[in-house]
A and B are shown apart, each in its own frame.
Chain A
Amino acid sequence: MLLDVKNLGVRYRMDGQDIHAVNRLSFQLEEDEIFGVVGESGCGKSSLIKALLRLVARNGSVTADSVNFQGQELLEMPMDQFRKDILWQKIALVPQSAMNSLNPVYKVGPQIVEAIITHKKMSERRARERVHDLFESVGLQKELFDSYPHQFSGGMRQRAMIAMALALDPKLIIMDEPTTGLDVLVQDKILKTLRRIKEDTKCSMMIISHDIAIMSEIATKIGVMYGGGFVEIAPTHDLFKDPSHPYTMGLTNAFPSIRELGKELISIPGSPPVMMREENKCWFEPRCPFATDQCRQSFPEATKTGDHHIVSCLRSADRQKLAKKAKEKATWTS
């Protein structure tokens, strides 16, 4: 196992109030896996990444039973050691809007070379060769080495950031919205590049996005986030064939399918919760068409419905029946 997160919580203190961004979140990540994390805005996706990389802002606090990465407890490590040994070396981040993640005053190639040299004892020439190789593997021409970030297009900058993340052969690459803001063709090329990189390097990836379509294309396993935690985690194929949480059912309804063109999309009414305190109830209950009194009184623990299929829903036993109902528009509007 590469990464094992148990009961992670992130809360921010704002104007004397606590805002819970991540709540009772657990997941496991195997090696050589692409884990897609989907969820709507404000569900805690970005906070999850920040917590894993220990980049949470000063007004935030992180709690967890365990965040175990290759046998090491990440949250208990001294910050200095974490910074030097884990960040970028083992876990690399391709940040959200990677377009602005390059320092505008340095040329792209030398920027990466310099970063490598300061992290690893490597001669400048070897670092340069490394960057040339990286450029090639993410599909950037070598001639672009001495260009400034503003001379790059959005897709090129995204590739440069991926190259940077790959530089030290990390075991895990976390990507925050890797395709947001790119046009569909470039998105597709980036996804292909990612898939090839995974084949070549055997690293694991964790990809955060709100675009379930992209996830279905690239992820081997998908986690659906709602209310600061995972409501369902399943291998990609199973998730679409057998959605077990009402929220997942709603999500799959809300995305257009190429086979059912012209079919009206059904959206989930309501908006995500603002979590001021930990409550013993299901966070999706106010928007859930299948909610019962039970859902208001106890927190749904994660249960296994298949080998690798985990759902946090009290009614998961009825899932096939509910899934059928969820396909009808009336279920959601009434």
Chain B
Amino acid sequence: MPEKSNRLIGILKVLHRQYKIMTSNTYGLIGFWVVAFFFTVALFAPVIAPYPIWEMQFDAETGQLAMLQSPSLQFPLGTTHLGYDLFSQIVMATRTTVMIGLISGFISIMIGANIGLIAGYYGGIIDEFLMRCTDVLYGMPFLPFVIILISLFGRKIEFVILAIALIVWRTSARVIRAQTISIKQRQFVTAARARGCSNLRIIYRHILPNVLPLLLLYTSFNIAWSIVTEASASFLGFGDGDTISWGGMLYELWLSGKTRVAWWWFLPPAVCIVALVTSLVFISRAYEEYANPRLRETR
């Protein structure tokens, strides 16, 4: 099947190209590998985690409950006040956080891109309506929105994802609308219309590929934002109680009242959140330079 392998080569080429864009500067390179590291951990989390996360652990030497132990060979990142292994928790939390980040990141860019494209392309009343909806979202304080949504539907991970996605799309919609307005004035769009292309076809076949660099930039941004917002919601106790996330670990720490004692409990999730989000922002910046070459000249 030569056509199939051609397609595969095509996909590989596209991926290679994305890799080149992401790693086109040093920060992007660092960002790419940090993100790759976290994604790998997330993928193999159950294999990596040495203990079940909700199970009390006992000290191998004394045989007693391993309460609030600092890092040791047996517990590389120490334990919680209930004797849970923190290393296992952080590994499993990586999985949750990455999943929430990716899913709400993608849902939000889907919403944002479509609203931006449609508003920008059609203009007029449709544009007015969609953009005022976006403005309403800008006026919506995030946490109360999530709190209400979660108290309505329950502390389920699906609703956390949905709540985040429903609010994070707003910026991407605005930016993509602006770019769409600029691209729809171009001659090739008129040419497509003169060829009898339908509106949807023009939007998705002719305009969308031209806003793609911007779209990828905002995908990366949206993932980063989703992770940050998930962490804050979880820290305030509005995460899913059945899974564990980095924000959720900090919430447990807060509840235990041991914040000032257990540095080994506090540092890892905090560092992970900062590292992953920063790396995603680095990648976004690499895309930004690609989408807007003028940024390159200022360096």
Q: Does B associate with A?
A: yes
A305 within 8 A of B: no
B201 within 8 A of A: yes
Shortest Cβ gap from A95 to chain B (Å): 5
* In the complex, chain A residues 80-124 whose Cβ is within 8 Å of any chain B Cβ: 83-84, 86-89, 92-93, 95-106, 114-115, 118-119
10 interchain residue pairs of minimum CB distance: A87-B196, A101-B191, A100-B187, A93-B194, A105-B209, A83-B196, A88-B195, A103-B188, A101-B187, A95-B191
B20 within 8 A of A: no
Q: Residue of B at shortest CB range from A114?
A: B205
Q: Please, what's the 1-or-0 string for B40-68, where 1 marks a CB less than 8 Å from any CB in chain A?
A: 00000000000000000000000000000
Give chain B residues whose Cβ lies under 8 Å from the Cβ of A119. 195-196
The complex places the Cα of A87 from the Cα of B212 at a distance, in Å, of 29
Give chain B residues whose Cβ lies under 8 Å from the Cβ of A95. 187, 190-191, 194
B188, B192, B201: the one within 8 Å of A104 (CB): B188
In the complex, 7 of the A-B residue pairs with CB atoms within 8 angstroms, ordered by the A residue number, are A92-B194, A100-B187, A101-B190, A103-B188, A103-B206, A105-B209, A119-B196
Give chain B residues whose Cβ lies under 8 Å from the Cβ of A86. 196
Contact: A97 with B187, CB < 8 Å? Answer: yes
Give chain B residues whose Cβ lies under 8 Å from the Cβ of A75. none
* In the complex, chain B residues 156-203 whose Cβ is within 8 Å of any chain A Cβ: 186-188, 190-198, 201
Count CB-based A-B contacts (< 8 Å). Answer: 58
Q: Residue of B at shortest CB range from A84?
A: B196
- Whether A93 touches B196, Cβ cut-off 8 Å, given contacts A104-B210, A106-B209, is no
A53 within 8 A of B: yes
Interface of B, secondary structure class, is helix
The complex places the Cα of A58 from the Cα of B212 at a distance, in Å, of 28
B198, B209, B212: the one within 8 Å of A103 (CB): B209
Contact: A87 with B195, CB < 8 Å? Answer: yes
A55 within 8 A of B: yes
The complex places the Cα of A88 from the Cα of B193 at a distance, in Å, of 10
Q: Please, what's the 1-or-0 string for B221-243, where 1 marks a CB less than 8 Å from any CB in chain A?
A: 00000000000000000000000
Please report the total number of A residues contacting B with Cβ < 8 Å: 29
A161 within 8 A of B: yes
The complex places the Cα of A103 from the Cα of B124 at a distance, in Å, of 25
The complex places the Cα of A53 from the Cα of B197 at a distance, in Å, of 13
Give chain A residues whose Cβ lies under 8 Å from the Cβ of B210. 103-105
Contact: B209 with A89, CB < 8 Å? Answer: no
Q: Residue of A at shortest CB range from B208?
A: A105
Give chain B residues whose Cβ lies under 8 Å from the Cβ of A83. 196, 198
Shortest Cβ gap from B221 to chain A (Å): 22
* In the complex, chain A residues 44-101 whose Cβ is within 8 Å of any chain B Cβ: 53, 55, 58, 83-84, 86-89, 92-93, 95-101
Q: Residue of A at shortest CB range from B3?
A: A124
Shortest Cβ gap from A180 to chain B (Å): 13
Give chain B residues whose Cβ lies under 8 Å from the Cβ of A105. 209-210, 212
Contact: A118 with B201, CB < 8 Å? Answer: yes
The complex places the Cα of A102 from the Cα of B209 at a distance, in Å, of 13
Please report the total number of B residues contacting A with Cβ < 8 Å: 19
Shortest Cβ gap from A209 to chain B (Å): 17
The complex places the Cα of A93 from the Cα of B191 at a distance, in Å, of 8
The complex places the Cα of A115 from the Cα of B210 at a distance, in Å, of 17
Given A93-B194, A101-B188, A103-B192, 7 new contacts (CB under 8 A): A88-B195, A89-B196, A92-B194, A96-B187, A100-B186, A100-B188, A101-B187
The complex places the Cα of A104 from the Cα of B210 at a distance, in Å, of 8
Shortest Cβ gap from A168 to chain B (Å): 9
- Whether A55 touches B196, Cβ cut-off 8 Å, given contacts A103-B206, A103-B209, A104-B210, is no
The complex places the Cα of A96 from the Cα of B191 at a distance, in Å, of 9
Give chain A residues whose Cβ lies under 8 Å from the Cβ of B201. 118
B124, B197, B198: the one within 8 Å of A58 (CB): B124
Q: Please, what's the 1-or-0 string for B208-223, where 1 marks a CB less than 8 Å from any CB in chain A?
A: 0110100000000000
The complex places the Cα of A147 from the Cα of B198 at a distance, in Å, of 26
Give chain B residues whose Cβ lies under 8 Å from the Cβ of A101. 187-188, 190-191
The complex places the Cα of A118 from the Cα of B205 at a distance, in Å, of 12
Q: Residue of A at shortest CB range from B213?
A: A105
Shortest Cβ gap from A45 to chain B (Å): 15
The complex places the Cα of A315 from the Cα of B256 at a distance, in Å, of 102
The complex places the Cα of A103 from the Cα of B190 at a distance, in Å, of 11
Give chain A residues whose Cβ lies under 8 Å from the Cβ of B193. 55
The complex places the Cα of A55 from the Cα of B187 at a distance, in Å, of 13
Contact: B190 with A115, CB < 8 Å? Answer: no
Which of A98, A101, A102 gathers the greatest number of chain B CB atoms within 10 Å? A101
Q: Residue of A at shortest CB range from B211?
A: A105
Give chain B residues whose Cβ lies under 8 Å from the Cβ of A99. 187
The complex places the Cα of A96 from the Cα of B279 at a distance, in Å, of 46
- Whether A55 touches B194, Cβ cut-off 8 Å, given contacts A105-B210, A106-B209, A118-B201, is yes
Contact: B191 with A161, CB < 8 Å? Answer: yes
The complex places the Cα of A205 from the Cα of B125 at a distance, in Å, of 38
Q: Residue of B at shortest CB range from A119?
A: B196
The complex places the Cα of A104 from the Cα of B186 at a distance, in Å, of 11
Shortest Cβ gap from A211 to chain B (Å): 20
Q: Residue of A at shortest CB range from B201?
A: A118
Give chain B residues whose Cβ lies under 8 Å from the Cβ of A58. 124
Give chain B residues whose Cβ lies under 8 Å from the Cβ of A102. 188, 191
